[in-house]
Amino acid sequence: MDSLKITSELKFYPAIDDLNEADKELIKKAFAASEKAYAPYSNFFVGAAVRLSDGLELTGSNQENVAFPSGLCAERVVAFYAKALHPDKKINTIAIVAVGNDVSTEGIVSPCGSCRQALIEYEQNDQEPIRLLMVNQKMEVYESASVQNLLPYFFSSSAIARK
C-alpha cells in the first residue's frame, strides 16, 4: 500500500503591525465589514475584504437567516459580489476576520468548507492563487499563499464526466 502525505504551509504574524500598509488597510476594511454582519443566531460576526488585480478593494459580511442554511458567509458574499461586478478582474487577496463573544481568541479563523470550495473555483478559473489573510481576535495573522493550501483535495470540473 502506498500513502500520500500533503502538508500546508502558513505564515504567521504575531501582530498586524508586522504586515505592509496595504495588507493592514485591507484587514481594517474587513473589520469594518464585520460591523455590518447580520448574525443574530450565531453571534459570529465575520467580515471579509478582497483586493482585485487592479487594486480595487471590496468588502462583505456574513448574512444569517432563521431558515438555516439560507444565509451566506462573508467570504462568499464578497467573492460573488466581486466577480458579479468585475468578472474580468482576478481576486488577489482576501482578508477574513471574525469577532464576537463566542469567537475563539486563539488560532486560525479560516473559511468554512463551502467558502474554500467557492474560492478555489475562482483560483482555478483565473489560474492564479488567491492569498488569504486570516486574523483572529488577538490580532494575529495567518497567511496562506493559496486557497489550495486549505483545501488540497478540492472538487474540480475535471471530476465531472462530460459527453
Residues tagged active-site = 75
Give the ranges where the chain is alpha helix by DSSP (H): 21-34, 74-85, 113-126
Q: How far apart are the first and last CA of the chain?
A: 34
**C-alpha to C-alpha distance for 35 and 56, rounded to whole angstroms:** 21
Cα angle for residues 63, 41, 96 (degrees, 5° grid): 45
**C-alpha to C-alpha distance for 135 and 139, rounded to whole angstroms:** 6
90: cell is 482576478
Alpha-carbon distances of 30 from 23, 35, 48, 98, 105, rounded to whole Å: 11, 9, 5, 9, 17
